Structure 1
Amino acid sequence: MKGAALPGIRRRTVLTSAAGLTVTWALPGCALIPPIPRRPMPTEADAAGWVRLTPGGRFEIWCVRMEMGQHITAALREVAALELGVPPGLIDTRLPATTDVPPFKATVGSDSVRELLLPLASACATLRTALFGRAGQRLGQAPTQLQVTDDGRVQAHGRSLALGDLAEPGLTLSAPGVPADALRAPLALARRSRDAAAPLVGRADDIALVTGQPSYTADIRLPGLRHATVLHPPWRRELDPRLVSLDETALARVPGFVAVLHIPEVDGPVLLADHPGALPGLRQAARPQWELPGGATDPHEVVDIDRALSRDRFTQDSGRVAEGAWTVDLRLDISMAAHAALEPRCAIARFNTDGTLELWCGSQDPFYMRDVLARDHGLAADKVRVHAQRMGGAFGSRTVALIEREAAFIARAAGQPVKLQWTREDEFVAGFHRPPSSHQVRARLDSQGRISDWWHALSSSHVIFTSAGLPRWLQALTDFVGDPGTSRGLVPPYAIDRRRESLQLTRLSLATGPWRGLGAGPNALAIESAMDALARAAGQDPVAFRLRHLDAQAAGPHLPDPDRLARVLRSVSARAAAHPRPTPAPGERIGRAVACGVYKGLSYVAAVAEVRVSHDRIRVTRLWCDHDCGTVVDAQGVRAQIEGCLVWSLSMVLHEALPAPEGRAAITGLAGYALPRMPDMPILDIQLVDSSDSPGGAGEPALVAGAGAVFNALVDASGHRPQRLPVRPGDLPAG
């Protein structure tokens, strides 16, 4: 983004964020969900507490969105650098503990830049005015003539002083509409007590990553630290799995063994060791045997859409459609999927002699973790300090207190600080997953070749009202209002006269919850598959057919800005058309297709995929993507996020599936879990729309177009429309 763009943004009104879900459970039996107050949108006054000038002449920013590989720190540093008028190399970003800053929202929903841009930019601009005013007085120069050098000196016309010299008493800040006492002086910020252990993220942390320096929770060492692992049962606790046997004699012979703990609040036996190297041997020696519980059923069978349609009773149902034969009537089943983050979870808990509890963890919501632990242990919130750590991937998996609760209960029982490290098996067995979804999309064309009736019936499980956090009885109550995570993107972004969206939610044997993009990816895939089938039935070009249904005059409130969607759809189609289709090899078929969508009414995406199909391989060779997420602050970071979403799109259609025939994860490691590898990567051609609209988000939107384009190209190549994902070569008819 060009440096001149942000001051203009600062003077505009930013889009109001989509209404966030506020959870205020204070009910007995709901141990995972404490009372959580609504967290307001951040203001300039809040942001003034995030930034300070240190006596060393460097700026520090509390990063109030968690760093999990999406490089939000780079975007915030870019905003601060432009508004402070200093080189980005003079700015450090740190992850705060819950005692360092007031509560802030979770890192979810591609909302970070959209919500933080204006407050941070305004606070930094106010700070710059104050600093340059003081520097101008000392140097006898107008503030507008001053520049900051790469080595941290403010200079003009041969005179200079160090930035650090400006961090001294007497400097007050003020800004229009902000109370004077809400903005603190740079010296007050510089004097403010900060934990030296606060993780440094951003450029310095990038260096630490590539040089192997400590960067994650697992790298932390504390005096007297014990190391723990939990033998999680293969089935969820609510199914009442019974531990039949545990070889405690063999455990006692493993070097480093300390104890076996049976803690009521922890789902399985806890193995305690005096060094981390003992844990794999302890897990192997334990040889736990579990009894298969009743009620463990295959989640894919439970959500079968035919079941829901046969009952004709849905958790959520809206709209009306006309009776009659359907032009298109298609079914699509999308498998359960794991998060498969690179870094397995780790948490460290310590109860201090002053009655406080400290937790080190990688979480998308440190204040939620604080509230959970405070409630668990009967502590005031200010007696719990959560130290936020960098995460090696999260994708929605670090939103609920799982390992964090376990670590605190184990530390309390052990009477010592404890580091609890989940294994890859724990991630599959004790974590929560993307729910399977089963779709039936029925649509009818009128005599003019337009869609007159549309019915999308979806059977799935819970996402926002996750079964990893809510007991069965409480989740049943939420079914009356549906689940905004599961239904995200269920309404098509097209002008259609009569629509019906039906949703059936069913609690499953495996825990389900947030997964990148929530329901937007699977729902948009089903919608775009139906749109392609309808275009074929109408004998129309797939792009022209979609454009006919982006009529702004006929659009309802579900279609935020049809012109923006039409723009990316036309653009990506033209760019792909400029590349002639390659000649297929003998025994090979090549297909191309398009898909598009809108994410949360804010970001607009269109994609074209090229797929090669042979008897033993399906390969996506090219993916074009046009992406309009409004104003872009960090173009490189946005591109990286889009690339990630496109890889997840490949995964959804061709790779990922978590089978659970006995109501438990049948795969418990990455070796058996299908993910795209480097040979599966297509050529990615990404174009960012140059836009002055407010930021709309980039972390998840490309999922609403990428998967649909890949699936439709597969249909174009094979002449066959699969009903179950992921698709393997053997699922397609011989060509």
Structure 2
Amino acid sequence: MAGKIDRRNFLKISTAATGGLLISFVIPAPAESPTPAIAPANKFRLHPFLRIGEDNSIHISIPKVEIGQGIWTTLPMLIAEELDCDWNKIIVEHSPPGTATDYSEPILKSTGGSETTKSEFDNYRLVGATARTMLVNAAVQKFGVKASDCKTENGFVIIGEKRVPYGDLANEASLLPVPTVQLREAKDWKIIGRSKKRLDAREKLDGSAKYGIDVQFPGLLTAVVAHAPVFGGQVASFDASKAKLIKGVKQVLQIPTGIAVIADNFWAAKKGRDALIIQWKHGVHENIDTKSQLNEYRKLSTTKGIPIVQKGDCIAALKNAAKSINAEFTFPYLAHAPMEPLNCTVRISQDKCEIWAGTQSQLLHQLEVAAFLGLKPEQVEFNTPYIGGSFGRRGSFSLDWVMEAVNIAKISGQLIKLIWTREDDIQGGYYRPVYLHRVQIGVDKAGFPVAWQHTIVGQSLFVNSPLEKYIVHNGIDYSSVTTGYPYADAIPDKSFELVTTTNGVPVLAWRSVGHTHGAFVIETLIDELAALANVDPVEYRRRLLKDHPRHLAALNLAAAKAEWHKPLPQGRYRGVAVHEAMGSYVAQIAEISIENKNIRVHRVVCAIDCGVAVNPDGVIAQMEGGIVFGLTAALYGEITLEKGRVQQSNFHNYRMLRMNETPAIEVHIVPSTGKMGGAGEPGVPPIAPALANAIFAATGQRLRDLPLRLK
């Protein structure tokens, strides 16, 4: 590792202002990434740091935001593995947004793609190893001993019977040259691969964690905004006279996105907004309608799209196939619906703007706020509190809720905390797009595919975004498509095409991005092909995956743990799916029953090959959360529009999976030395097709439209 990094630029050693050893470092972007936009190989990420205090405290900053995925624990585990520190002395914080050259590629600071731990695996270990070596070298100088006479353990350098705390050596260590170090081999790991409780768990359990919505200081007012009921609508006129009569309402003003009501507290602001009388100019998007949109997509799916993959003569091969299947799949808009609604606190002074917001893209917002206010980016100070979920919603790029809050603060001259209500959030757009897939597959006499024709219709997530130049090539947004991997790889005749649509509904990446619909299409089709061939679904996949060992390992482990070939009790049925996303391979088996057309999921068995599982308990938690998240979407998730208006508004009509509906979930980690993958998102894609395949086993119905509804 040391030979791959210019250590003079990678590590910067100094004495901390409060005393101790401070190592700040840049994170080189990996040469390969499933989301290349987030990691161009010749760029650098921002400056996290490790600080060892004179009081033996271990301060670790991380350049990505903790949004529930567990990186506040996994990244410190990497440092602790090499540092031999006291785990109970670790204090974690978000690193501040960067300066200078960091702004040339602001997307590098964004959190997304389930890539934080895998991309920083070696780098954080290197920092821990460097710090430990420097502490030992400080002890060598201080006590006149050899390095071979020293060992480290639990925050101490041990020399014979002498145990010297790291804090006693930190200042001296900061004055020493940066050594070249060797990272420990996997066989010597004591922390990596062993479960650790989350370092942020106590605060989140006892209520002491401060989220963005909890920010409060003297003079702070609360703002809510009345948005147009149709995307892109504008205010024609408004009457605020009744709103201003509400006790606590301070100001009502027009901003680019609607009418803002500013009050002493949230309830007064909301009541003031309810009292507004607004005339809207709805604009061209008033005619958007879910049914007509799908009909339009249906027509587009029969037209020529942009080729994604073309091989052989697909049309001729389909004509010569022994049998074929034709299928159409539809997927609705989906809201992210994080538990903590969007919020942003803004304090503008003459030469500075302070912001408190939970966002996945601090640098991008830092730049847009600076440009708007006429400040340098360094004059926009971002504070990152605890974040109550995101699933992609806090990963928007520009002109969203942060800029809305800044607009209100600038126009009003007040200290502002903007809060979006749950209704604002559900109806505010930035959804997973609507997609339609049209597929025709031909099989040979044995029932295995020989021809595959596939057209995908949907909006692009990343056109006109900072990620466009990395993800969109020759008109193809690669986050929106599937190529039938791995099943279609060996098919001699195939055609995959994309038809990209545009409309006025803003869209955004949703947990696991294009895998949310691609996996469903591929895994339900493979199940259908297995039925057509009269072959067991697991066995059918095994034959197709014989050259894909990691898919196969996950599938075999899930099947074994679910006792796939053991008969189920009467009235119980199973379905299976296996899928690779974000570099991890996940298989899931869903066990269900159906009564009066009500689907009950009793059990889900999940197996994941993510390479090294740094914190197995964290991986298990992410799989459990992904399964619940995916089941919610499969059974209930749907945003619909009529005359341009979103029909859903809160959890009563945008349902979440409830506790009494949640199945027993078993997660098994495949022992693996394969390349590390992510864990935050890969648990989502397989569950919907596994459920749909179980429904087929129970009823004989092939459900191809989500959410799943029995006919």
TM-score by length of 1: 0.82
Is 1:158 the counterpart of 2:161? The answer is: yes
Match of 1:350 in 2: 347
Q: 1:445 to 1:118 in 2, by over 3 A?
A: same
Give, in whole Å, the separation in 2 of the partners of 1:275 and 1:706. Answer: 42
1:571 matched to 2:552? The reply is no
Q: State whether residues 87 and 148 of structure 1, in contact with CA within 8 Å, keep that contact through their aligned partners in structure 2.
A: no
Contact preservation (8 Å) 1:242, 1:291:
yes
Determine if contact 2:366/2:382 at 8 Å carries over to the other structure.
yes
1:603 — aligned with what?
A: 584
1:315 and 1:380, CA in 2 relative to 1: closer, same or farther beyond 3 A?
farther
SS across alignment from 1:269:
strand
| Partners of 2:133 and 2:179 within 8 A in 1 | no
Secondary structure of 1:610's counterpart equals: strand
Describe how 1:487-502 pairs up with structure 2 within 5 A: 487=481, 491-494=485-488, 495-502=490-497
1:30 alignment counterpart: none
User: Bigger shift: 389-398 or 370-379?
Assistant: 370-379
Q: What code does the residue aligned with 1:298 have?
A: D
2:127 corresponds to which residue? Answer: 123
Question: Which residue of 655, 664, 683 corresponds with 1:702?
Answer: 683
- Correspondence for 2:189: none
* C-alpha distance in structure 1 between counterparts of 2:34 and 2:629, whole Å: 26
1:100-111 aligned within 5 A: 103=102, 104-111=108-115
Equivalent position of 1:97 in the other structure: 96
**Deviation readout 1:427-479 (Å, 9 max, x if unpaired):** 1222411112112221111234321101222112122337xx69xxx99x979
521-530 or 49-58, which moves further after superposition? 49-58
For 1:32, the equivalent position in structure 2 comes to none
3-state SS of paired residue (1:636): helix
Q: Which of 385, 390, 394 is equivalent to 2:386?
A: 390
Residue matched to 1:213: 208
Tell me what 1:335 maps to.
332
Q: Which residue of 1 aligns with 2:406?
A: 408
Checking the alignment, whether the CA contact within 8 Å between 2:355 and 2:383 is kept in structure 1 is: yes
**Distance of 1:664 and 1:434 partners within structure 2:** 17
Q: Deviations over 1:463-505 (max 9, x none)?
A: 2337xx69xxx99x97952212212565444432222112122
Indicate the residue corresponding to 2:310 in structure 1. 319
**Match in the other structure for 1:621:** 602
Task: Tell me the equivalent position of 1:73.
Answer: 72
Paired residue for 1:259, among 238, 241, 251? 251
Deviations 1:496-543 (A, max 9, x none): 222211212212332111100011121111111111111111122222
Aligned-partner Cα distance in 2 for 1:490–1:368: 34
CA distance in 1, matches of 2:214, 2:58: 26
**Does 2:452 align with 1:486?**
no
The 10-residue stretch of structure 1 (682-691 or 286-295) with the greater mean CA deviation from structure 2? 286-295
Aligned mates of 2:332, 2:486 — CA distance in 1: 22
- Report what 1:590 is aligned to: 572
Give the AA of the match of 1:525. Answer: F
1:678-689 matched pairs, under 5 angstroms: 678-689=659-670
Q: SS in structure 2 opposite 1:327?
A: strand
Task: Tell me how far apart the structure 2 counterparts of residues 41 and 434 of structure 1 sit (CA, whole Å).
Answer: 29
Corresponding residue for residue 447 of structure 1: 445
110 and 489 in structure 1: CA distance in 2 versus 1, 3 angstrom threshold:
farther
CA contact (8 A) 2:51 2:59 kept: yes
Tell me the equivalent position of 1:518.
513
> For 1:290-305, what aligned pairs fall within 5 Å after superposition?
290=280, 292-296=282-286, 297-299=288-290, 301-304=292-295, 305=297
Task: Report the Cα offset of residue 242 of structure 1.
Answer: 4.3
Structure 2 partner of 1:18 = 33
Give the deviation of 1:635 after TM superposition: 0.7
> Aligned to 1:122, what secondary structure does the other structure show?
helix
CA distance in 2, matches of 1:252, 1:14: 52
Letter in structure 2 aligned against 1:542:
P
Separation of aligned partners in 1, 2:506 and 2:34: 25
Q: 232, 249, 261: which one pairs with 1:271? A: 261
2 CA distance for matches of 1:624 and 1:41? 40
Secondary structure, counterpart of 2:477 in structure 1:
coil
Query: Is the Cα–Cα contact under 8 Å of residues 135 and 154 in structure 1 kept in the other structure?
Result: yes
Specify the alignment match of 2:638 in structure 1. 657
Offset, 1:235: 1.4
Query: Tell me, what secondary structure is at the counterpart of 1:295?
Result: helix
Q: Which has the higher strand share?
A: 2
What is the one-letter code of the residue matched to 2:403?
A: R
Check 1:679–1:396 CA distance in 2 against 1; reply closer, same or farther (3 A cut): same
In 1, Cα distance between equivalents of 2:249 and 2:267: 10
State whether residues 620 and 682 of structure 1, in contact with CA within 8 Å, keep that contact through their aligned partners in structure 2: yes
Aligned-residue offset at 1:276: 3.4
Q: Distance in 1 between matches of 2:253 and 2:30?
A: 51
2:72–2:200 contact (8 Å) kept in structure 1: no
- The structural deviation recorded for 1:581 is 3.9
Amino acid at match of 1:499: K
- Residue 290 of structure 1 deviates from its aligned partner by 3.7
Give the 3 Å change call, closer, same or farther, for CA 114–89 of structure 1 in structure 2. Answer: same
Question: What is the alpha-carbon distance in structure 2 between the residues aligned to residue 100 and residue 155 of structure 1?
Answer: 40
TM-fit CA distance, 1:700: 1.1
Alignment-derived partner of residue 9 in structure 2: none
Q: CA deviation at 1:611?
A: 1.4
Cα drift, residue 616 of structure 1 = 4.0
Cα distance, 1:716 vs structure 2 = 0.9
**Which residue does 2:368 correspond to in 1?**
372
Distance 1:64 1:234, change over 3 A: same
Q: Equivalent of 2:272, from 274, 282, 285? A: 282
Deviation at 1:596, TM superposition (A): 0.9
Structure 1 counterpart of 2:695, one-letter code: L
Counterpart residue type for residue 593 of structure 1: G
Instruction: Kindly indicate whether residue 79 of structure 2 is the aligned counterpart of residue 87 of structure 1.
Output: no
- Corresponding residue for 1:438? 436
Alpha-carbon distance, 1:142 to partner = 5.3
Counterpart CA distance in 1 for 2:647 and 2:430 is 14
User: Equivalent residue of 1:168, what SS?
Assistant: helix
Q: Which residue of 1 aligns with 2:25?
A: none
Q: Which amino acid aligns with 1:322?
A: I
Deviation of 1:42 (Å): 5.2
Q: Number of aligned pairs?
A: 651
Query: Partners of 1:563 and 1:140 in 2: how far apart?
Result: 54
- Per-residue CA deviations over 1:64-95 (Å, capped at 9, x if unaligned) read 11011111111011111111011221211101
Seen in structure 2, the aligned counterparts of structure 1 residues 101 and 599 have a Cα distance that, compared at 3 Å, is farther
* Partner SS for 1:644: helix
Contact kept in structure 1, 2:577 and 2:686, CA below 8 Å = yes
Post-superposition offset of 1:720 = 0.8
Q: Distance in 1 between matches of 2:617 and 2:519?
A: 26
Cα distance in 2 for residues equivalent to 1:101 and 1:640: 37
Q: Which runs of 5+ in 2 are unaligned?
A: 1-27, 103-107, 183-196
Deviation at 1:146, TM superposition (A): 5.1
**Partners of 2:413 and 2:629 in 1: CA distance:** 43
Name the CA shift for 1:342/1:524 in 2 (closer, same or farther; >3 Å): same
Contact 1:300–1:335 (Cα < 8 Å) also in 2: no
- Structure 1, unaligned stretches of length 5 or more? 1-12, 24-36, 179-201, 553-561
CA distance in 1, matches of 2:101, 2:640: 42
Percent of counterpart pairs with the same letter?
27
Equivalence map 1:528-567=2 (5 Å): 528-552=523-547, 562-567=548-553
Cα distance per residue 1:623-674 (max 9 Å; x no partner): 1111001111011111111111111221232121112122222111122211
Alpha-carbon distance, 1:394 to partner: 0.5
Instruction: Give me the CA root mean square deviation.
Output: 2.9
Is the CA contact (8 Å cut-off) linking 1:244 and 1:291 kept in structure 2?
Answer: no
- Give CA-to-partner distance per residue, 1:528-585, whole Å, 9 cap, x none: 1111111111122222222222253xxxxxxxxx11111221222222226844433x
Cα distance 1:96–1:211, how it changes in 2: closer, same or farther (>3 A)?
Answer: same
**8 Å CA contact 1:319, 1:501 repeated in 2:** yes
Aligned mates of 1:593, 1:502 — CA distance in 2: 29
